[in-house]
Structure 1
Amino acid sequence: MSENETRPVVVGIDGSPAAQSALRWAVEDARRRGCPVDVITAWHPDYGGMIGPVPAEVLMALSPQAMKDAAQKALDGAVHGFEGVEIRRILVEGDPRDALTKASEEAELLVVGSRGHNTVAEIILGSVSSYCVHHAACPVVVIREPKVKKEHTLAAAAAPLTPGPLL
């Protein structure tokens, strides 16, 4: 990267609500900085969870080309509609932790979501955000998972229950 070239804000996305929030945050930050956004999606074939015979349709959907195409479609869909900043789409085959920390070497900032996979996958694979915080070559911003708004019910509006008579 040359001295005159602006370093990008890098953001990792995986289709989760936290990743989409991270993308929105990264785009706003890049607008303020006047730099581009590198949006990275990593994919890799993983057949470790399959046990027993698998129908041909499922096997075709799990082919490397089908997985790459699905990841590209998700990447394109995630960045659709953002304007006012240069967005560069980057699709990488491999571990997202490695892809993001490598991209951080040339980045102004790395932005990731706090939750992507479910809890079981996080235990097996490890937290991407935690890995990035500890191994990135630039500052890292972790955007928390958006809170789900609970429906306001009549019971919630009622007076609180007390453990016994008030004295």
Structure 2
Amino acid sequence: MAETGAGADEGRIVVGVSGSLGSLAALHHAVAEARRADVEVLAVLCWTPPGEELGYRRTPCPTVLTAGRDAAVARLRQALDEAFAGRYAGVRLRCQAVRGEAGHTLVHCADRPGDLLVLGAGRERGRLSRLIRPSVTTYCVRYATCPVLTVPRPPLQRDLEALERGHGLGALVAGL
């Protein structure tokens, strides 16, 4: 990643963090890339109020909004603790819990000319759910003005998804 100058134009790595195994893999990849390029990492956890934005607009409640924000901050802290076991990541790391839909918010956060947006590839979704709402990764690839790097799902995540789909322990044992 080339340096584009100091200040607001300097490149950085923006990484979406949700606490999932895929987002933790993306965070590790972003930190490794930041070490090589000597740039800052901005870890962003996107959140919406309970009932999404439309529900909140219909019945606004500041207490609910504060609780949602506090829960997002706690989830971000927990994800960072899980990713780095409470140790220093070895790079300049800034973290933000940002209110908004994940795809739109991440594209908005990765708005500098030298930015790189890093995302976990996410779980496989059915055709119907892809038609109703595109994945965060698809949205970011389509609308980001900077390069987008998607990190493949870790093997453990694939195994857990196989268990959830009902393939049971047999699928895991067969893979060993």
Output the TM-score relative to the length of structure 1. 0.72
Larger radius of gyration: 1
Match of 1:96 in 2: 102
Distance 2:50 2:39 in 1: 35
- Give the C-alpha shift of residue 88 in structure 1: 0.3
1:115 to 103, 106, 122: 122
Report the RMSD for the aligned CA atoms in angstroms. Answer: 2.9
Deviates more, 1:15-24 or 1:119-128: 119-128
Q: In 1, Cα distance between the equivalents of 2:94 and 2:129?
A: 28
Match of 2:71 in 1: 70
- Give the one of 128, 137, 147 matched to 2:145: 137
Distance 1:123 1:145 in 2: 22
Show structure 1 runs of 4+ deviating over 4 A. Answer: 116-124
Q: Please give the secondary structure, in 1, of the residue aligned with 2:173.
A: coil
- Secondary structure in 2 matching 1:152: helix
Gaps of 5+ in 1: 49-59, 158-167
SS in 2 for 1:85: coil
What letter corresponds to residue 77 of structure 1 in structure 2?
Answer: Q
Say whether the 8 Å CA contact 1:15–1:116 is kept in structure 2. Answer: no
1:79 positional shift: 2.1
Structure 1 residues 121 and 73, CA, compared in 2 at 3 Å: closer, same or farther? Answer: farther
| Corresponding residue pairs, total | 142
Question: TM-score, normalized by length of structure 2?
Answer: 0.69
Distance 1:110 1:78, change over 3 A: same
1:27-106 correspondence runs (5 A):
27-47=31-51, 63-80=64-81, 81=84, 82-106=88-112
Among all aligned residue pairs of Structure 1 and Structure 2, give the percentage whose two residues are the same amino acid.
Answer: 30
Unpaired stretches in structure 2, ≥5 consecutive residues:
53-60, 160-170
